[in-house]
Copies of this chain bind each other. A is one copy, B any other.
Amino acid sequence: MTTHDDTQQKSVSERAATASSTQGGYPTPAWHKAYHQGSRPDLRVPYREVLLSTGGTVPLYDTSGPYTDPAFEPDVRRGLPPLRDAWISQRGDVEDYHGREPRPEDDGLKHTTPRGVVVGAGLDNLDAVFPGRPRRPRRGRDGAAVTQLAYAKQGIITPEMEFVALREGMPAETVREELAAGRAVLPANVNHPESEPMIIGSKFLVKINANIGNSAVTSSIEEEVEKMSWATRWGADTVMDLSTGRNIHTTREWILRNSPVPIGTVPLYQALEKVDGKAEELSWEVYRDTVIEQCEQGVDYMTVHAGVLLRYVPLTARRKTGIVSRGGSIMAAWCLAHHQENFLYTNFVELCEILRAYDVTFSLGDGLRPGSIADANDEAQFAELQTLGELGRIARALDVQVMIEGPGHVPMHKIKENMDLQKEICDEAPFYTLGPLTTDVAPGYDHITSGIGAAMIAWWGTAKLCYVTPKEHLGLPNRDDVKTGVITYKIAAHAADVAKGHPSAQAWDDALSDARFEFRWEDQFNLALDPETARDFHDETLPAAPAKTAHFCSMCGPKFCSMKISQQIRAEHGDGSSAVQNGYDAEALAGMEAMSQEFKAQGGKVYLPVVD
């Protein structure tokens, strides 16, 4: 058993020691925060640099925000620095104003509750919690569209677009073109300057969303903030806060002020809380008020179930699992209770006018998505998709950015039809799907049943995947479930990036494969999506430190290892081109005996280990 040169391994730790911090840092010291410098001093695009034992580095896309920069001192009560503040104000098209006054019912407290009552870290304590508050909200001056779509249409490349171009390794002009055409969105509320710009569109890296949120049954504010930063640490590109019950407003404030990624919500959930959970008591006024509340806080994209039309609701009656979207069923209940058309549909233009003044991106919700593979691709689902296409055209005409949400539960042979129809009906607006689950028989493993569908639909063009955790259909995810969901969806997204031929995607796989072939175990762990788990699994079988540089795997053991043999073959045949033969002619056969002798003379070890 040979051991590797230990000095190489040490240099990684040494380099990392100066560059990383354990407090809120990366899960391995070989990950190092680095920046691409843009055209202005305050435009620095973060990425993750993986330090290799060979002295080389591998740059990877990074969503973890300032927390993983050792120069940053996190303080959840101060929030993140407002990265985009100057970019927004320098455009000169926003005004700050005296925003809507927070009310007890924003946090799910009864209208009659005296304001003086302190409930946990509730709404009344916001000023105390965030010393920077009250910050006056911003909006487009005189209702101007201050959206990245509006700028892109005007031919302007904003700092946000430049940031995204550097982040993706794509020309800024491509970013602008895709945004202008509505084929991509850059969710960036002017009231969430803390977020690092990112883009969602089929020409770019596939993105993933993690859902968090307390519910009436369980969970706390601190837990949700922790889940958000935990999810982004493992690769969540956006986070949706789906809180229900108490403290919705306050939870969201904490999340927004501490989030380096765009935050999405379903305003309907909070609106429903304001009417004590009675769907029939909802109104456009309550909804509108909630949307403005959330726009002012800085929510970057909102799921709006405006496609659940009254006439579509009966189409779900024949289904095996009816309506499974919470928002969809709330609107269906409202439509039925009033026998009127969905107020989100009838007030859609006004909603667009609100959203464009803050640059909030629509995520047009698929309220009638299938809840079982039996219901996939049915009349109700595709009827709603037609309406979402129509609404998307209206929104874009009003300069509001638009994503379209998609299913859900779809067997493999029906997935592509979803993508093809969505592209056609929705003018290639970014598709944002939940899974889809490819079978319903594995509750407890729906990250996997859906990871299969997610990888496939992303390969075919879906721009963002909403993760599914192992707890889907069973309960609320804890910290471990969030990590498992994120890692599973990073796998699906990356597998799709590779299959789509994204220029930077396969380099990562190649770097890891090289490390594997060359028995650089530490590099293999550090290049993994989850170094901790890879290292732990290895150490279970071969815990001793030398094993990590040993020239064999724990699968075959020291006596024989296929990788070892292969390295020998490479050393003999070089690039192999000269040795390629399609058969054995007389001459070749004559040469074989000579080669055999040569092989044995070298001690039967044809090749030396290859190290770059």
Contacts and interface: CB of A to CB of B under 8 A. Distances in A.
Interface string A342-374: 000000000000000000000000000001111
B499 A323 contact: no
A445 B530 contact: yes
A557 interface: yes
A34 to B, nearest CB: 19
A513 B338 contact: no
Contact of A528 (B443, B500, B508): B443
Given A528-B441, A573-B314, A579-B317, A448 B499 contact: no
Nearest to A538: B474
Given A311-B583, A560-B330, A440 B513 contact: yes
A571 B328 CA distance: 17
Contacts of A315: 576, 580
A570 interface: yes
Integer count of this chain's copies in the complex = 2
A336 B491 contact: no
Nearest to A509: B440
Given A317-B579, A513-B371, A579-B317, A487 B559 contact: no
A317 B584 contact: no
A593 interface: yes
A71 interface: no
Contact of A317 (B474, B513, B572): B572
Interface in A466-502: 470-471, 473-476, 478, 487-488, 490-492, 494-496, 498-501
Contacts of A494: 439, 441
Interface string A438-471: 1111111101110110011001000000000011
Contacts of A573: 313-314, 317
Interface in A376-431: 411-413
Contact of A559 (B216, B444, B501): B216
B440 A512 contact: yes
Nearest to A311: B581
Given A322-B517, A326-B560, A499-B411, A314 B576 contact: yes
Contacts of A470: 533, 537
A21 to B, nearest CB: 24
Given A311-B584, A474-B554, A496-B412, A566 B329 contact: yes
A574 interface: yes
A134 interface: no
Given A474-B537, A499-B411, A579 B324 contact: no
Interface in A503-555: 506, 508-510, 512-514, 516-517, 524-525, 527-530, 533-534, 536-538, 540-542, 553-555
Given A491-B439, A534-B443, A563 B452 contact: no
A451 B495 CA distance: 12
Contacts of A593: 339
Contact of A438 (B314, B499, B512, B577): B499
Given A320-B510, A599-B336, A448 B580 contact: no
Which are the 5 A-B pairs with shortest beta-carbon distances?
A322-B566, A475-B541, A317-B576, A314-B579, A317-B573
Interface of A: 215-218, 244-245, 272, 277-280, 310-311, 313-326, 328-330, 332-333, 336-341, 371-374, 411-413, 438-445, 447-449, 451-452, 455-456, 459, 470-471, 473-476, 478, 487-488, 490-492, 494-496, 498-501, 506, 508-510, 512-514, 516-517, 524-525, 527-530, 533-534, 536-538, 540-542, 553-570, 572-577, 579-584, 591-596, 599-600, 604, 606
